A and B are shown apart, each in its own frame.
Chain A
């Protein structure tokens, strides 16, 4: 049997009606699985329930139908079994009253690393995101891009088996985002975590991932297509014509599924 890192089986998420607003079927029968060490992007228009899937896999949301497992264990089991899951959000979500170092220490502590290992791990990840000099700065003293780099450092500090990323570069300017994408791939190359990366940017998805899963627009969003990109050689470059051409076909296939609407 093939080993899967992440697996969703017929996951349906319905937000119950609240007050006057009707119930909202966010995701309908979502099924997919990933191999260990695979970089998978979920590509779809805004508001199609991509983040909902990440919240289910991270344990933030436990009201859903269907089955979600990480390395064969249900999400609630992973909390105890020592499988490390990291989450990089759209915003850095650093605690502003703690220094960068102390923010990473928080994640190391909750993931059960012994304090004697902390300094070494922090130094390593901070040098990977080129923030070594800023370890003792408070987040509000850093720029938005640096804060996001610190949150990437926090995620990799715990050496996660699974890394969930929710449009982490969408709030940054394009040049900063480009640099961070390259840095991300470089660090991922060292750690080889399974990455589930949610985005609405087709080029970003093509540049980063081994496989793209496309979702339709909500309500009742579902997976509608899959693009295998493992034949695109790594390391990839922004100037590479093949990356560009592939991203064009990805966009065309996406338009074929959801129609050329006002999104993007």
Chain B
């Protein structure tokens, strides 16, 4: 695709500076039109490229510093929020609130494009105070997630500024394209087709991996025998696996689903195998010593230890299956999101490519975070809250 057009490379530069006594690192990314020279700083053009990259790095550092120390930027939003947070310190959740929330505000203020999340009025109106308090708690709990999402969007905007719009359109442009696409019916039929393939591939991969993983975890013979299979499948490039299955089974839906499932199987199998091997035998002995029956030991002691492994594998497997389905659609199908992405890529329509990807990102995020995440939280209430190392 890229032959004939100009080659685009990135020059990545890492810079460090000191802010007070604290060292800060930043990474700047600068697009280079000429790869050979950018890696040869002794030439004049190379030096120019290098300098631009350093500039980008400096901006990155400044953003990092601003995020850490809102006062340093002396931006009105930074000051206002710090005053507000210290005034309401105890009102926030224990140790959760003010720090991360401040960061979110400061970054929002410096990266012009991102929306500023917390711009409530400073003077507390009595009927608004409760709303404000719940908003603050919400921000306190989700500040890191929010910050993470903002940084992602900011990076995308950064990319769209430095790259031509045909290569990386800005987020709002893509959102606009997506909105138009969503009015049409074709994208929904593609989504349904792809989701169906993901569900089928995921189900096959999960069932086979559970059988293989459990067999390897329980039986030494099975472990020895299947080890070779798993390692071979794992090392084999997915591309080769998919092409082979298409060759054997023909370019049809069955082959597509199988082709998406097979590369996922070895990875999930290893996950489940290790999980089953990690079951705590001391608890099983405890059950035996208290005269628990075999069935009770399986239900009350083994199953609760296996459940987290299966949920984690399911989350992992779903993500892998979705990537593989896209791949098989791209290689040998004429419908589905993967095919659409390939189609628009051939047309050099990056806006539509990204719009399709974005739509699926939202759908998979929903499945991943909302459905599986809730299930996981419900199942594992007994775990103590994660501590920072």
Q: Which residues of A contact B (CB under 8 A)?
A: 58-60, 79, 85-87, 89, 91, 93, 95-99, 106-107, 109-111, 138, 140-141, 158, 164
Which residues of chain A are near B287, meaning CB under 8 Å? 106, 110
B254 an interface residue at 8 Å Cβ cutoff? no
Which residues of chain B are near A86, meaning CB under 8 Å? 289-290
A107-B290, A110-B290, A110-B292 known; A98-B382 Cβ under 8 A: yes
Please encode chain B, from 260 to 291, with 1 for each CB lying within 8 Å of some chain A CB and 0 for all others.
00000000000000000000001101111111
Task: Name the one of B282, B293, B382 contacting A138, with C-beta atoms under 8 angstroms.
Answer: B382
Bound CA span A111–B292, Å? 8
B304 an interface residue at 8 Å Cβ cutoff? yes
User: B289, A95: Cβ atoms under 8 Å?
Assistant: no
User: A97, B382: Cβ atoms under 8 Å?
Assistant: yes
A110-B296, A111-B291 known; A93-B382 Cβ under 8 A: no
Least CB separation from A79: chain B residue = B291
Bound CA span A211–B246, Å? 76
User: B289, A87: Cβ atoms under 8 Å?
Assistant: yes
User: Taking chain B's interface residues, is the majority helix, strand, or loop, or is none over half, making it mixed?
Assistant: helix
| A93 CB, min distance to chain B CBs, angstroms | 4
Least CB separation from A154: chain B residue = B290
B129 an interface residue at 8 Å Cβ cutoff? no
Which residues of chain A are near B383, meaning CB under 8 Å? 96, 140
Bound CA span A140–B385, Å? 10
Which residues of chain B are near A164, meaning CB under 8 Å? 289
User: B290, A95: Cβ atoms under 8 Å?
Assistant: no
Q: Which one of B283, B293, B380 has the greatest number of beta carbons of chain A within 10 Å?
A: B283
Which residues of chain B are near A95, meaning CB under 8 Å? 283, 300-301, 304
Least CB separation from B288: chain A residue = A60
Task: Name the one of A60, A109, A140 contacting B384, with C-beta atoms under 8 angstroms.
Answer: A140
Task: Name the one of B285, B291, B296, B304 contacting A97, with C-beta atoms under 8 angstroms.
Answer: B304
Within 8 A of A (CB), among B344-383: 380-383
Which residues of chain B are near A79, meaning CB under 8 Å? 291
Within 8 A of A (CB), among B100-141: none
User: B291, A93: Cβ atoms under 8 Å?
Assistant: no
Q: Which one of A60, A96, A99 has the greatest number of beta carbons of chain B within 10 Å?
A: A96
The 9 closest A-B pairs by CB, nearest first: A87-B289, A110-B292, A93-B286, A97-B382, A138-B382, A58-B289, A97-B304, A110-B290, A140-B384
Bound CA span A58–B292, Å? 12
| B373 CB, min distance to chain A CBs, angstroms | 18
A89-B282, A89-B286, A110-B296 known; A96-B382 Cβ under 8 A: yes
A97-B304, A111-B291 known; A87-B384 Cβ under 8 A: no
User: B300, A106: Cβ atoms under 8 Å?
Assistant: yes
Least CB separation from A82: chain B residue = B291
User: A93, B282: Cβ atoms under 8 Å?
Assistant: yes
Bound CA span A148–B127, Å? 51
Which residues of chain A are near B384, meaning CB under 8 Å? 138, 140-141
A87-B286, A89-B286, A91-B282 known; A110-B291 Cβ under 8 A: yes
| B384 CB, min distance to chain A CBs, angstroms | 5
Which residues of chain B are near A99, meaning CB under 8 Å? 382
**Sample of 6 more A-B contacts, CB < 8 Å, known A60-B285, A85-B291, A89-B282:** A86-B289, A87-B286, A98-B382, A110-B290, A111-B291, A158-B290
Least CB separation from A164: chain B residue = B289
| A164 CB, min distance to chain B CBs, angstroms | 8
Which residues of chain A are near B290, meaning CB under 8 Å? 86-87, 106-107, 110-111, 158
Which residues of chain B are near A59, meaning CB under 8 Å? 288-289, 291
User: B289, A60: Cβ atoms under 8 Å?
Assistant: yes
Task: Name the one of A87, A93, A138 contacting B283, with C-beta atoms under 8 angstroms.
Answer: A93
Which residues of chain A are near B282, meaning CB under 8 Å? 89, 91, 93
Bound CA span A158–B292, Å? 13
| B273 CB, min distance to chain A CBs, angstroms | 22
Least CB separation from B292: chain A residue = A110
User: Can you list 29 A-B contacts with CB-CB less than 8 angstroms, sorted by A residue number?
Assistant: A58-B288, A58-B289, A59-B288, A59-B289, A60-B289, A85-B289, A85-B291, A86-B289, A87-B289, A87-B290, A91-B282, A93-B282, A93-B283, A93-B285, A95-B300, A96-B383, A97-B304, A97-B380, A106-B287, A106-B290, A106-B292, A106-B300, A110-B287, A138-B381, A138-B382, A138-B384, A140-B382, A140-B383, A158-B290
